[in-house]
Structure 1
Amino acid sequence: MVPVTVFGSILLITGNAELLAERTRARAVSTITAEQPECEITTATAAGLGPGEIAGLASPSLFSAASALVLTELQDLPEAAQEELLAYAQSPSPDIAMVLVHGGAGQKGKKLLDQLRGQASVTEVKHEAPKYERDFTRWVRTELRELNTRIDEEAASLLVAAVGQDLRALAGAADQLAATVTDGAITADLVRRYFGGRADVRGFDIADATIDGRIHVALEQVRWAAAAKVESVLITGALASGLRSLARLADAPPGLSEADLARHVGAPPFKIRILRRQLQGWDTRSLASALDAVARADIDVKGGAADPAFAVERMVLQVAAARTA
């Protein structure tokens, strides 16, 4: 929830659900402009800010007595600027609205977060992404409820199985379905009509979870995929594709631009950041070992094994075990 007013206070947005954080940030900006239409809003990233720069960014202009600062990537704020921010949080200006967005899912910047949480001026809104299949299904139902549309458990589960676990994609699918129905109810048949051909997306969700080392999520998705009759070869293919992309990234010449790196890897530019993060858990030897496990599983699911589902689960365990971190 966004506070009724954010002037004279600090709104701290945390958690690993980027879409939900962006929504809260947008609502906060709307609240600011509704309260002070002439307010000048400055948006900046925290990385590289030095002493005194936060005060400069938040200072009112000649044209408005009120100002607002939206500071993103708080986890990268340098230590010297952290001291300034904490000092400000102890005595915030009534003419300044401040929105802080911490985009890290790990421990980076935790000390600063803990110190900010101890300040009376700080209100935290935390958004954690759904973790399990059932959580995504629940999220879809809530999303559609806010769009004044009903969806039952079966239809919501089918939508997650077809679209995958990216909240942006699910939100877009929910918008599309809500705009389609006329009686406010979404059925499993309607989901199949619009998204039934996208079950192969499931393979890439499993691949990402496996490469990330989120073994419990990967295995849960493998079993969900088996129940949804997703072809095992789609899963082995997706995992092979993900690992090959990591191998190409690891082998890329130094100094390439983002566009050239994307061409070298064979992935869209937006995917490079994800691959870089994933590559932190891998080296040349572990990637080779994982690719061998996928190759064996691919042979098994194409006819060499009596139980393809077991072959896929074993592959997921072997690939996850190959990670270096």
Structure 2
Amino acid sequence: MLVTGTEGLLGERAVAGLVAAARDRDADVEVTRLEGAGYSAGALGIVTSPSLFGEARVVVVEGVEQATDDLMADALAYVDAPADDVVLVLQHGGGQRGKKLLDAVRASGAPVVVCEPIKKDADKVAFAAAELRRAGRRADAEALRALVEAVGSDLRELAAACAQLAADAPADSRGVIGPAVVARYYGGRIEATGFRVADAAIAGRTGEAVALLRHALATGGDPVPLVATLAAKLRVLAKVAATRGRRGGAADLGLAPWQVDRALKDLSRWTPEGLAEAITAVAQADAEVKGAGRDPVFAVERAVLRVASAAGR
């Protein structure tokens, strides 16, 4: 079995799930783990060789993307003649190293589990909801969005935040975790995040946007992702604006319903000219924070001011 992809948390969970399934079938199954980077020739043959007592075995090879040439050769030979009583799990963290082996595993018809990063906000919200559900807890949509905005794109951090909320957070009368609870636990992070800066700027709240921006920068925020977040918010507005009045148009944008609803609400205060002006300002800031300008901090602050002033014009 091949577990491949750059999202380490999902890869680890996939492997753990396979091992757990094997143990459910046979509590005495033997589990062996090998490291790709430190592999020595012949080790795979030893752990997969016929057993005297015929017990089932699971062999997990971690870090195949860093594997030695010896592992590549031994694993390729094993794929051609796999053992009947052994489940071999190859965990590959992404990249071109080991491509020949990965192609051979796929060609053999062995199961493949793909663990790529979760990039869309809607998918992160769904992931957080599933994490809480696994722990027997629930959160409303606003709380889930606030949690994703606070924690950011790191899936491990998001999973850890869900675990903390599941263990410690009080629920309301419906048994649901609300946004006030998320703010209590992660409020400091939410207040400094680029999402809050972008929301304030798009709403035309100039003073709040600049204050949040300066706080974010003072606490270690990088101008590059701050500008990227502002650009992402404006792209959503532009996409939704382009589909207004067209039946089914918004559903084809690859956005969650809540993103479309929020964008429609924000667009009530924007004109096409103001939106074009804001997008141009952010495009200029994007170039400046990536080397075209001398002062990235000044560039992002000027962009926030221009976006906020363009709202409502």
Q: Identify the TM-score tier after normalising by the shorter chain.
A: 0.5 to 0.7
| 1:64-79 alignment, distance < 5 Å | 65-79=55-69
Q: Deviations over 1:217-276 (max 9, x none)?
A: xxx99746856967223554422799xxxxxxxxxxxxxxxxxxxxxxxxxxxxxxxxxx
| 1:62-101 alignment, distance < 5 Å | 65-101=55-91
Residues in 2 aligned to 1:309 and 1:160: alpha-carbon distance in whole angstroms: 27
> 1:118 aligned to 92, 107, 112, which one?
107
Deviation at 1:159, TM superposition (A): 0.5
SS in structure 2 at match of 1:100: strand
- Letter in structure 1 aligned against 2:221: A
Q: Deviations over 1:3-43 (max 9, x none)?
A: xxxxxxxx211112211111121222222333333333221
Does structure 2 conserve the Cα–Cα contact (< 8 Å) formed by 1:39 and 1:64? Answer: no
> 1:133 aligned to 121, 126, 144, which one?
121
- TM-score under structure 1 length normalisation: 0.60
Residues in 1 aligned to 2:170 and 2:33: alpha-carbon distance in whole angstroms: 38
- TM-score under structure 2 length normalisation: 0.62
Partner of 1:188: 179
Query: Are the structure 2 counterparts of residues 53 and 154 from structure 1 closer, same or farther at C-alpha, using a change threshold of 3 Å?
Result: same
Query: Are the structure 2 counterparts of residues 187 and 90 from structure 1 closer, same or farther at C-alpha, using a change threshold of 3 Å?
Result: same
| 1:1-325 alignment, distance < 5 Å | 11-59=1-49, 65-104=55-94, 106-120=95-109, 122-179=110-167, 180-182=169-171, 183-199=174-190, 202=193, 223=198, 231-236=212-217, 237-239=220-222, 296-299=295-298, 305=302, 307-308=304-305
SS in structure 2 at match of 1:150: coil
Does structure 2 conserve the Cα–Cα contact (< 8 Å) formed by 1:202 and 1:225? Answer: no
Query: Are the structure 2 counterparts of residues 130 and 79 from structure 1 closer, same or farther at C-alpha, using a change threshold of 3 Å?
Result: same
SS in structure 1 at match of 2:221: helix
Deviation at 1:130, TM superposition (A): 0.8
Query: Are the structure 2 counterparts of residues 50 and 199 from structure 1 closer, same or farther at C-alpha, using a change threshold of 3 Å?
Result: same
Q: Deviations over 1:263-300 (max 9, x none)?
A: xxxxxxxxxxxxxxxxxxxxxxxxxx968778623245
Query: Are the structure 2 counterparts of residues 80 and 185 from structure 1 closer, same or farther at C-alpha, using a change threshold of 3 Å?
Result: same
Alignment RMSD (CA, Å): 3.6
Residues in 2 aligned to 1:225 and 1:84: alpha-carbon distance in whole angstroms: 57
Does structure 1 conserve the Cα–Cα contact (< 8 Å) formed by 2:58 and 2:88? Answer: yes
Query: Are the structure 2 counterparts of residues 297 and 88 from structure 1 closer, same or farther at C-alpha, using a change threshold of 3 Å?
Result: closer
Query: Are the structure 2 counterparts of residues 51 and 185 from structure 1 closer, same or farther at C-alpha, using a change threshold of 3 Å?
Result: same
Residues in 2 aligned to 1:73 and 1:152: alpha-carbon distance in whole angstroms: 38
Deviation at 1:146, TM superposition (A): 2.8
Residues in 2 aligned to 1:143 and 1:59: alpha-carbon distance in whole angstroms: 39
Q: Which protein shows a greater Rg? A: 2
Residues in 2 aligned to 1:225 and 1:99: alpha-carbon distance in whole angstroms: 48
Does structure 2 conserve the Cα–Cα contact (< 8 Å) formed by 1:14 and 1:102? Answer: yes
- Letter in structure 1 aligned against 2:213: S
Does structure 1 conserve the Cα–Cα contact (< 8 Å) formed by 2:201 and 2:304? Answer: no
Residues in 1 aligned to 2:202 and 2:137: alpha-carbon distance in whole angstroms: 27
- Letter in structure 2 aligned against 1:168: R
Does structure 1 conserve the Cα–Cα contact (< 8 Å) formed by 2:190 and 2:196? Answer: no
Deviation at 1:301, TM superposition (A): 6.0
Query: Are the structure 2 counterparts of residues 225 and 27 from structure 1 closer, same or farther at C-alpha, using a change threshold of 3 Å?
Result: farther
The percentage of aligned residue pairs carrying the same residue is: 36
SS in structure 2 at match of 1:71: strand
Deviation at 1:173, TM superposition (A): 1.5
Deviation at 1:52, TM superposition (A): 2.2
For structure 2, list consecutive stretches of 5 or more residues without a partner in the other structure: 226-287, 309-313
Residues in 1 aligned to 2:111 and 2:54: alpha-carbon distance in whole angstroms: 25
Partner of 1:271: none
Deviation at 1:73, TM superposition (A): 0.8
Does structure 2 conserve the Cα–Cα contact (< 8 Å) formed by 1:148 and 1:184? Answer: no
- Letter in structure 2 aligned against 1:160: V
For structure 1, list consecutive stretches of 5 or more residues without a partner in the other structure: 1-10, 204-219, 243-288, 312-325
Residues in 2 aligned to 1:306 and 1:85: alpha-carbon distance in whole angstroms: 53
Does structure 1 conserve the Cα–Cα contact (< 8 Å) formed by 2:79 and 2:108? Answer: yes
